[in-house]
Amino acid sequence: MKTLKTQVAIIGGGPSGLLLGQLLHKYGIDNVILERVTGDYVLGRIRAGILEQGFADLVREAGVEQRMETEGHVHEGVLFSVNGKETRVDLKKLTGGDEVVCYGQVEITQDLMEARQAANLPTYYEASNVQPHDVKSDAPYVTFTQGGEEYRLECDYIAGCDGFHGVSRQTIPADVRQEFERVYPFGWLGLLADVPPCSEELIYAKHERGFALASQRSPTRSRYYIQVPLTDKVEDWSDEAFWEELKLRLPPDVAANMQTGPSIEKSIAPLRSFVCEPMQYGNLFLVGDAAHIVPPTGAKGLNLAAGDVATLLKVLRRVYEQGDKECINQYSEIALRRVWNAERFSWWMTSMLHEFGDEGNDSAMDPQMRDRFMTSEVNYFLSSENGRRVIAEQYVGLPYEDLA
Ligand code: APR
Ligand code: PHB
């Protein structure tokens, strides 16, 4: 067994782990990342692409903003379509200047990976049997195997950035953990194509045939989604069938001018809301998907991970710069306040914009009556400036909370 030492052991080399590692390095806090798969595999995951104002600022603080600034697209507004009627939510005007940046998660992950490599920071890819130990003690450690070698990584703190299926959340005893989950009765069929986006800004479409979303990755690459039943398989959907259904759900003028083309990626993702409380146990901190999952309707998945990183960075900087070890006990409470706010917003957007059929939130209610409630709710929020401001504030992201 080979013994290694660091200050912060990071389990998981996805966006959460990489962003945390880069920021800790900036402030002179040593860290090691243990990642189960290869770097190429991590980059192969197609994910979302909307960065809140706060996330973009964190990327700048980490010093990896170059490509985001040149290739990312600042969006000052977002469009909603309710059965073909469009309303624009002016994010910049309604929030006093905040915007979102449209820049793929894969790109941000690549930028962080390259920065870590350039700084020659220790990252163990294809690490297996990763297991946190003694997380309640002052000398926690993580064991893992890599390249046929057994390792013991001694550290002060462990950041569980290992996603929904990781080992970190399971390290919190079942009788200490409280998990909350809502699985939605539909999925999102997503398609990526090298065609120009159909709209300058994103379009969230509520339609009686089902939800649709028009997003983008660049001036020549588009990302689209349509709500599909959970029973659908991706092979049930030809590219032609996808484009035809998408056009039926988007505003007619947008559909009429839409450029279509062959998919370069097509997949169905389930939708769930999930939260684990607490988000820490002794010197183990859960970050990102390890602690929570949101339906993508609010574009919060990646942004919530960034919010956790921002809070954990404040905690660890105070520990190492001021010697205040007590402040670690603030992490879970602060992180969960932001998590539950974004979970509610994502659930609300999902509830308003999707067709639930017989499986709406209130099963005692006639589905058509529920749909009229939801249509009335979304039309109310879109028709009033105060309503649009509520959506805008949540969409660009509330300010990060400071430590007490
Ligand atoms: N040991 C080491 N690494 C692990 C383990 C383990 N036991 N289990 C999982 N991992 C790695 C995964 O291979 C993955 O690369 O942890 C990483 C977790 O990354 P994500 O699942 O992307 O989670 P996170 O970094 O929190 O990013 C959240 O990703 O899933 C999207 O919508 C989500 O945009 C959000 C973002
Ligand atoms: C995406 O571009 O993949 C995307 C954008 C906004 C969302 C979800 C996904 O709400």
Q: What is the pLDDT of residues 119-131, one digit of tens each?
A: 999 999 999 999 9
- 242 or 360, which is more confident? 242
Tell me the C-alpha to C-alpha distance, in Å, between residue 72 and each of 52, 101, 126, 189, 269: 12, 6, 30, 24, 25
Our answer on whether the CB atom of 210 is closer than 6 Å to any ligand 2 atom is no
50 lies in some domain: yes
Q: Is 204 a catalytic residue?
A: yes
Q: Phi first, then psi: give them for residue 276, nearest 5 degrees.
A: -110, 130
- Kindly give the distance from the C-alpha atom of residue 102 to the centroid of ligand 2, in angstroms, as a whole number: 9
Q: Is 75 a catalytic residue?
A: yes
157 lies in some domain: yes
pLDDT the model gives residue 360: 65
% of the chain exceeding 90 in pLDDT: 94
Length of the chain: 404
Whose alpha carbon is nearest atom 20 of ligand 1? 163
If phi > 0 it is left, if psi is from -120 to 50 it is alpha, else beta; for residue 63 that is left
Q: Rounded to a whole number, what is the distance in angstroms from the first to the last CA of the chain?
A: 41
Segment 255-269 mean pLDDT: 97
Tell me the C-alpha to C-alpha distance, in Å, between residue 402 and each of 95, 202, 309, 361, 399: 20, 31, 13, 35, 9
CB 142 within 8 A of CB 79: no
390 lies in some domain: no
Our answer on whether the CB atom of 296 is closer than 6 Å to any ligand 2 atom is yes
Question: How deeply is 217 buried, as exposed, middle or buried, from its count of CB atoms within 10 A (0-12, 13-18, 19+)?
Answer: buried
Our answer on whether the CB atom of 15 is closer than 6 Å to any ligand 1 atom is yes
- Kindly give the distance from the C-alpha atom of residue 343 to the centroid of ligand 2, in angstroms, as a whole number: 16
- Kindly give the distance from the C-alpha atom of residue 349 to the centroid of ligand 2, in angstroms, as a whole number: 13
Q: Phi first, then psi: give them for residue 377, nearest 5 degrees.
A: -65, -50
Nearest listed ligand to the Cα of residue 299: 2
CB 36 within 8 A of CB 128: yes
Mutational pocket test of ligand 1: of 36, 58, 113, 169, the residue with most ligand atoms within 8 Å of the beta carbon = 36
Q: Is 165 a catalytic residue?
A: no
Whose alpha carbon is nearest atom 32 of ligand 1? 301
The answer, yes or no, to whether residue 357 has pLDDT greater than 90, is: no
pLDDT the model gives residue 164: 97
For residue 19, the domain's CATH number is: 3.50.50.60
Closest CA to 79 of 216, 244, 269: 216
Residue 329 token pair: 């006990």
Whose alpha carbon is nearest atom 29 of ligand 1? 302
Rounded Cα–Cα distance for residues 8 and 316 (Å): 9
298 lies in some domain: yes
330 lies in some domain: yes
Q: Is 225 a catalytic residue?
A: no
The answer, yes or no, to whether residue 362 has pLDDT greater than 80, is: no
198 lies in some domain: no
197 lies in some domain: no
DSSP type of residue 369: H
Segment 369-398 mean pLDDT: 95
Our answer on whether the CB atom of 389 is closer than 6 Å to any ligand 1 atom is no
pLDDT the model gives residue 83: 87
Ligand 1, atom nearest to 289 Cα? 26
Mutational pocket test of ligand 1: of 112, 153, 161, 162, the residue with most ligand atoms within 8 Å of the beta carbon = 162
Residue 344 token pair: 């509610």
- Kindly give the distance from the C-alpha atom of residue 73 to the centroid of ligand 2, in angstroms, as a whole number: 14
CA 37 to chain centre: 20
Q: For the segment 53-80, what is each residue's pLDDT rounded down to a tens digit? A: 899 999 999 999 999 999 999 999 999 9
Whose alpha carbon is nearest atom 4 of ligand 2? 48
Q: Which of 206, 266, 292, 300 is catalytic?
A: 300
- For the packed helices 301-322 and 331-353, what is the interaxial angle rounded to 10 degrees? 170
CB 152 within 8 A of CB 1: yes
Ligand 1, atom nearest to 287 Cα? 26
Q: Which of 103, 184, 204, 281 is catalytic?
A: 204
The answer, yes or no, to whether residue 371 has pLDDT greater than 70, is: yes
Rounded Cα–Cα distance for residues 171 and 176 (Å): 10
Mutational pocket test of ligand 2: of 213, 267, 268, 348, the residue with most ligand atoms within 8 Å of the beta carbon = 213
pLDDT the model gives residue 47: 83
pLDDT the model gives residue 139: 98
- Kindly give the distance from the C-alpha atom of residue 194 to the centroid of ligand 2, in angstroms, as a whole number: 16
Closest CA to 286 of 158, 184, 198, 165: 158
pLDDT the model gives residue 49: 87
398 lies in some domain: no
Q: For the segment 17-60, what is each residue's pLDDT rounded down to a tens digit? A: 999 999 999 999 999 999 999 999 999 987 888 999 899 999 99
Domain count, the chain: 1
Residues 133-154 as b or e (16 or more Cβ within 10 Å = b): eebeeeebbbebebeeeebebe
Mean pLDDT of the chain: 96
The answer, yes or no, to whether residue 361 has pLDDT greater than 90, is: no
Give every CB contact of residue 124 below 8 A, 6+ residues apart in sequence.
Answer: 32, 33, 34, 35, 144, 146, 151
Domain with 142 in it: 2-75+99-180+272-356
Our answer on whether the CB atom of 48 is closer than 6 Å to any ligand 1 atom is yes
Our CA angle for 281, 145, 12, nearest 5°, is 45
**Would you list the DSSP string of 230-278?**
TT--GGG--HHHHHHHHHHHS-HHHHHT-----EEEEEEEEEEEEEEE-
Say if pTM beats, i.e. exceeds, 0.85: yes
Q: Is 296 a catalytic residue?
A: yes
